[in-house]
Every structure is written in C-alpha cells, then in structure tokens.
Structure 1
Amino acid sequence: MIKLAACQYHIDLLTSWDAYAEHLTTLCEEAAGQGAELLLLPEYAGLVLTGQLPEAERSDLHGSIAGIQPLLPRWLELCESLARLLKVHLQPGSVAMLDDDGVYRNRAWLFGPEGCLGSQDKLMMTRFELEQWRIAAGSGLKVFDTPLGKLGILICYDNEFPLLARTLAEAGVDLILAPSCTDTEAGFHRVRIGAQARALENQIAVLQSPTVGLAPWSPALDENIGRAALYVPSDYGMPANGVIAESAQLCPTRSHWLIAELDLAEVRRVREQGQVFTRRDWPRQFEGGRLVLR
C-alpha cells in the first residue's frame, strides 16, 4: 500500500524567489506530513516562477518563458532538496525548458529521496502550445523504476492518446502520473476521461493533478479548472466507478492536496482475476495499434 498526494494547484502570484520557495516548501511539507510518499503537481506548475519577473515581462506570452530560464536550475535544486529532505518522490509539475537546439519543450522531472530520477517531455502538443506558444513536442517515453513501483508520466493531452499509455503498460508501468493544465471545464473532462480510459484499458492506476484558479497576470495560466483524482479499472475489489478518490471542489480558491492510498498489488490482481481482461485482450484484435481487416 502506498499513499499518494495529487495537488489541485492554485496559481498564485509570488513575486520573489523567497516567497516562492516558502510556498513550495510549505505545500510539500503539508502532503508529506500526512504520510504521502509520492507528491504530484500539475502541468506548467513551474510557470508560477514567472511571477518573479517584471510585470511587463511576465505578462508577455513568449517573454515570460524566456525570462524564467535562468531560474530553472535553482528551481530544480529546490525540488530535489525537498524530495531528499522529506524522503518522498516528487513530481513538481512541468515547465517550458529551452533546449540546446533552441526549441522549448514541456518537461516534467521526477525526484526521489536519492535525487533526480530523470525527466519526461510532453509528446502530443495542443494547438495553443504549437500555434501560439511555439513549444515543440519531445520524443520517447521513460519508465521510472522506484521503490514504490514502476511509474510513467503522461502530461495532460498525452493522456488522450491510447498508445502512449499502452506503451508504458507493456513496459511494466503500474501507475501513470498525469499532471494537467486546462482552462475550461470541457478541457478538464477531456483529460479526465482520457486518464480514466487509460486506467481501464491497461488495468493500471492513473493519478491526475490539475491547475486551478484565475491568474490574470499570466497569459499562459490565466484561467484554470480541474479536479485531482486517482483512477483504477472498474472491476472486482476496485470502486465500481473506477475512482478511488476525487477532489470535492472543481475549482477551490487555494491549493489543495488529494491524499489517497493505492495497493498496486490489488491493481495487478485484477489483470489475473478480473471480470474482464482488457489488457490481455487488446492484442487479440489489434496488431500494431490497428484493427486487423478481414
């Protein structure tokens, strides 16, 4: 049994590094203090760093992500130190990172008690990211082998594409972390439905963490809506609706942790003793992800 924490992360204006560091530290201490072993924050949570930029710079869509690049090494050091200090696994959301090829990519890191375990880029970009923000897709999927189990990360829109989760499941992943950032209720439900479908199809667990709240000072994070949740397959021994836990409010006025316990052994048991075998039966009708025509 492991205890997980997914944050409904309210986008607050924090205008100094000290204010931000205190904010993130207090938030992580709150979850760890409740016994959480894995902490998940949402997609683009790192963009809260833009609050430290001059007003004209933070209100510029492209200038704001350029402006925070010098802060990112310090941010990563803070995240790693919190994971070590609190003895937790921390996925602090994602941020737009400028790579050596001159292209920004949406990247999420995972930290453990022993340090940084690596990163995962978003693979499927939304129209906003591609057409307005000019953030490029990454490549490849990573499996994080941890004492808690094998984990994968699918960032927001990635959860709407079945073959990504299927690839992780076939590589042995039992839990997918789904940091998300959506500015409409419809957008939230698209990711939610995708995340829950991936849990059903692959008979695994998916943990979702969204951004919430209004941030008129940020052109990228101005409107945010969503619920944190933990999804599993609907089957014997699991909740009938496939939801172990879900945040009560759709859009709270402050950051809120959803704390839930998950028995990965029970999730694996469903694959062998479930009422259905969606994970096993997939290859019977599909080859290479395509329906076989007769």
Structure 2
Amino acid sequence: MKKLTIATAQYGLADILTQEQFWTGISAKIREAAESGAAMIIFPEYMTAHLLSVVPSMLHDDACHFLDQLTDEYVRFFTEHSRESNIAILAGTHICKEGEEEGEYANKAFLFFPDGRIETQCKVHLTPEEQIRWPLIAGDELNVFDTEWGKMAILTCYDIEFPELARAAALRGVELILCPSYTDSAYGYYRVRHCCQARAIENQLFVALSGLVGSLSEDRPQVDTGYCQAGVFTPCDLPFEADGILRVGEVNEDMTVLSVIDFHRLRENRERGAVAPFYDRRPDVYEHEHGKTQV
C-alpha cells in the first residue's frame, strides 16, 4: 500500500478586498503543497465563506444564495488546479443547493482528483446553529470511496463527534478519515480534536484534521474568526507515538502541516498492537443493551 504525503491546512482568515485575492491565495497554498511533495491537501469547512467578507454583511439565507452562485466557478477552479498540480484537493466545504425544495442548501465537501473525478459528502450532523440560523439540510448517506492509497471517507467537523458514523466508515474498510472543520473557539476546537483522536483509537485508523484560523476586522454573522491546530492523528499504540499525534501545526498560525501517512504501519498496529478495539468490539452486548433502552 502506498504512503500518502498529505497537507492539512490551517487556513488563515484575513481581510481581502476582492474575490480574485481569495482565489489567488488558494492557488498559492495548492502550489506550495504540491511543490513540497504532497499528493493531497485538505482545506477546512466553510472555507469559501471567506468570500462573504468582500460583500456587505448579509443574513444567512442571502449568504447561502450568494455562495451557491459561485458553485460553478468553485468546481471549475479546483478541477483545473487538481489536474495542473497533480494533487488531490479536498476543497473544504461549500454551501450549495441540494434537494428538490426551493431554498434548500447543504454544507457539502468536495474532493477533487487529478484525473477529473470528484467525490462529495454532505454534512450529516448539523450543529444547532446550522439547524436554526442556516437554511441547511443534512446529508443522509455516508460516501466511502476508493483512492490509490485505500478507502477514505469525509466526516465534516460535528460529524466526527458521533462515533457511530466513523464506525460505519471503518466497517466499510476506511483507513483514513478526512475531517474539514470550522470552530470559532477553543471549546469547539477541542471537542473536534479530542473526538478525532478518539475515532482514531477506537477504529484503529488515521484522522486528518483541517480548520480555519485567524479573524476578520469586520464581524460577519457566518464566519469571522477561527481556532485550530490542524494535523494527523493515529491510534495511541505501537508502532505510533504514545500521544497518537503524527504531526500538528502551531495553534492558530496560518500554515500548512505536511505529514506522511504510512498505511503499512496501520496494518502493523491492527495485527500486533497492544490492544485491538476495532476487532474486540462486542456488538451482541451493545444490541442487547440497546434493546433495553427503547422507549
């Protein structure tokens, strides 16, 4: 199985004056990652919401409409950059129309491959704010997809806080979960961070986390500040480090964290680790106890 050199972005929110400035900044990060040897780069959740800073402040409904109007350009931009730089790009998440009803939008992740393939995943678990303030609908399906490095899935931010979804992915053969996130405080970040590490431990797989950092000088009701320390996490067991950290960045710095994911080491962990939580689970007990709690 091939090693994967992956770049996880701590994408810095900063004041920009034009949409062109936004796209130019993204191009530079993609080019830097590719020149550093990365075969994949992960950008954070709500990254394109940075573009809301170049227009007057608006309510969430109008913001969704504004961002959706950029979907064609978004897809074209990342399709071209993936092909030209020969790098897979998880282009964060983007708000776009989804469903059959007028005014329904999804928080949707797009993963672009150099050969033109695009894998997508709508966020399955919406936060209370996304349910109340944003006019968003939740995804109802987990997309597990094949890559040249093995099977992967995308769990966006709050999704990683639900162990059932990650377990479903692991049972379908996933060995790397990609987690684009947006958290605006240390509280939110550490909920996501610790759940990333828990999912890596209990399923004996890798989790790669990306997030927004920095802040805008003018408040925006959608996205105006971020808190993150991006990186890649492993099981807390041999042959990995005791803390389960493959690599992380500097807290809240605008930077890209480069890691080498060795799937052979994951196989070694699953075969010869001190514990085997992925294999030692007891579904018979869980199902029995679940039946007791039905109301």
Indicate the TM-score class for this superposition, using the shorter chain for normalisation. Answer: over 0.9
Superposition deviation, residue 10 in structure 1: 0.9
Structure-1 residue corresponding to 2:68: 69
The answer as to whether partners of 2:239 and 2:268 remain within 8 angstroms in 1 is no
Partner Cα distance (1:11, 1:5) in 2:
18
Aligned ranges 1:155-234 → 2 under 5 Å: 155-215=156-216, 216-234=218-236
Aligned length: 287
Q: Contact 1:204–1:267 at 8 Å: present in 2 too?
A: yes
- Alpha-carbon deviation of 1:12? 2.8
Report the TM-score when normalising by structure 1.
0.92
Match of 1:22 in 2: 24
Shift of 1:49: 2.6
CA displacement at 1:287 relative to structure 2: 4.2
For 2:16, the aligned partner's letter is L
Measure, in 1, the Cα distance between the counterparts of 2:208 and 2:288.
24
How far the C-alpha of 1:94 sits from its partner, in A, is: 0.2
Q: For residues 71-90 of structure 1, what are the structure 2 equivalents within 5 Å?
A: 71-90=70-89
Q: Distance in 2 between matches of 1:290 and 1:13?
A: 52
Q: Distance in 2 between matches of 1:127 and 1:146?
A: 33
- Residue 11 to residue 286, structure 1, CA distance change in 2 (3 Å): farther
Superposition deviation, residue 65 in structure 1: 2.0
TM-score normalised by the chain length of structure 2: 0.92
RMSD: 1.7
Q: Which residue of structure 2 aligns with residue 137 of structure 1?
A: 138
Judge conservation of contact 1:285–1:292 (CA < 8 Å) in 2: no
For residue 11 of structure 1, report the CA deviation from its aligned partner. 1.6
**Greater Cα offset, 118-127 or 13-22:** 13-22
Aligned-partner SS, 2:235: coil
1:5 aligns to what SS in structure 2? strand
Answer yes or no: is 1:244 the counterpart of 2:246.
yes
Pairwise CA distance, 1:284: 5.2
Structure 1 position 35 matched with structure 2 position 34: no
CA deviations 1:112-136 (Å, max 9, x no partner) are 1111332001011111101112322
Measure the CA separation in 2 of the matches of 1:289 and 1:163.
17
DSSP 3-state at the match of 2:69:
helix
| 3-state SS of 1:27 partner | helix
Q: In the aligned structure 2, how far is the partner of 1:188 from the partner of 1:31?
A: 24
* Structure 2 Cα separation of the partners of residues 286 and 158 of structure 1: 25
Amino acid at match of 2:97: L
Cα displacement string for residues 108-162 of structure 1 (whole angstroms, at most 9, x for unaligned residues): 0111111133200101111110111232211110012111221110000000000
The SS at the match of 2:278 is helix
Q: Is the 8 A contact 1:204 1:268 kept in 2?
A: no
CA contact (8 A) 1:163 1:289 kept: no
Q: Please state how far the C-alpha of 1:201 moved relative to its aligned partner.
A: 0.4
Structure 2 unaligned regions, length at least 5: none
Distance in 2, matches of 1:262 and 1:189, equals: 23
Which amino acid is 2:22 matched to? Y
Q: Which amino acid aligns with 1:245?
A: R
2:62 equivalent to 1:60? no
